[in-house]
Amino acid sequence: MAQNTTGATPFPLGVFVGNPNYFDSNEEASFEGNFNAFSDLMKTKPQFLDQYGDQRLPISGWVGQASWNAASMAQSPVLKDVTPVIGLPMTSTASGSGTPDQFYKDFATGKYDSVLKDMVKAWADSGFTTQIWRPGWEMNIDTMPSYAGGDAATRADWVKAFQHIYTVLHAAGQAEGVNVQVAWNPSVVNYSHAGNVIETAYPGNQYVDIIAADVYGDVFPYGSPTHLYDWDKSGQVLNSSHPVYDTSVQQWAADPVNLGHYYTYPASNQWSLDGSEGHATTLQQLIDLAKSTGKPFAIAETSAGNTHDGAGLTDNPTFVQWLADTLHRSGVRVSFVNVWNSNSGGQYHFTSSADHKPLEAAAWAKYFGDPSTSASASAPATTGSSLAPTVTQVSASPGTGIEHAGDTTT
């Protein structure tokens, strides 16, 4: 069981609740209110905070933004001893910018080394002696600015860029006397034109300190939305001899067994656990990578309760329990779990009564909060002792085949 040995929670806890802004009292008060509400729910203060470089700025503006973010975080009274987990774009989308592939080539040849070094220095100057960087996070989602590309040449350039960025960030950390850790951080997806990103864009063990994943509870099951294979009613087997189909995503997602199956095998269809034919990346595959390489594992972003997927899961404790169960069974050291408690990028905020997510909020507190104080928190019971589905392999017949959520419709 992968437990948190440094704090009260089962896993070291982090959060995204927006950005501190010590230079604007109203924005800072709003941030502190959100941060404190999350801390109150979880009965513990988060140890990590997601922060981001802004790809909308030209790269010449990244150092200034890093200085502003670091100063805001350092001066926010609620963030004492909190470690930044910093999303580092590998491209800029500012007007007049070049193609992503050109940025990858330029990073790899050292064109932006001074920017990287000065960003590390900006955080160090504000007192952050541990910095966790996520270059090109969610590189397997084609709507992300640092998408690794759908062709081998672009992915090769992306990998070279990541390798060089890793080297420069570590050298800068050593020069500043700070501990820099670099996370390789894809998203869990049911389909990507980048293929299975472990096979196509992993930069090599010597260029990775942490294997990280972004995983959300959004649901995009394979198949017609009016003819969805019901894994529970069909006996939790592939190609059941007595298949049962649901007539809507909402009906299908109302069964926790279907949800657990989808979260575990996001690309599954009636005939295959990887209906994407190798274009999916699952949470378990990323956990297995961490285990095989001996790297620590992290969840850099996670949340549930978004509604744009048609499943109607506005209050979704099932995903939260599934994630906790999966991590407890993983056998890897979990560096942190950062919960996205914000409506930036989707309807993911859950701590306020106005969010109408009491079951999900209770589940986050129960499974990821301080167990000594959260034991009384309750989440709805699910069928069976575990949400992880059991699938019996049978002879298969030929079949037909968010920004933050990470899943894509097919």
Regions of the chain where pLDDT drops below 50: 1-6, 374-386, 388, 390-410
Domain range summary for the chain, segments of one domain joined by +: 13-220+278-374
The pLDDT value given to residue 387: 57
Question: How does pLDDT run across 196-217, given as a tens digit for each residue?
Answer: 999 999 999 999 999 999 999 9
pLDDT of residue 156: 98
pLDDT number for residue 339: 98
Q: What is the pLDDT of residues 359-407, one digit of tens each?
A: 999 999 999 999 875 444 444 433 333 454 544 343 232 222 234 434 4
Fold of 13-220+278-374: TIM Barrel (3.20.20)
pTM, full prediction? 0.91
Instruction: Encode pLDDT of 21-41 as tens digits.
Output: 989 999 999 999 999 999 999
| pLDDT score at 150 | 96
Q: What is the 3-state secondary structure of the chain?
A: CCCCCCCCCCCCEEEECCCCCCCCHHHHHHHHHHHHHHHHHHCCCCCEEEEECCCCCCHHHHHHHHHHHHHHHHHCHHHCCCEEEEEECCCCCCCCCCCHHHHHHHHHCCCCHHHHHHHHHHHHHCCCCEEEEEECCCCCCCCCCCCCCCCHHHHHHHHHHHHHHHHHHHHHHHHHCCEEEEEECCECECCCCCCCHHHHHCCCHHHCCEEEEEEECCCCCCCECCEEECCCCCCCECCCCCCCEECCHHHHHCCHHHHHHHHHCCCCCCCCCCCCCCCCECHHHHHHHHHHHCCCEEEEEEECCCCCCCCCCCCCHHHHHHHHHHHHHHCCCEEEEEEECCCCCCCCCCCCHHHCCHHHHHHHHHHHCCHHHHCCCCCCCCCCCCCCCCCECCCCCCCCCCCCCCCCCC
Per-residue pLDDT, 375:
46
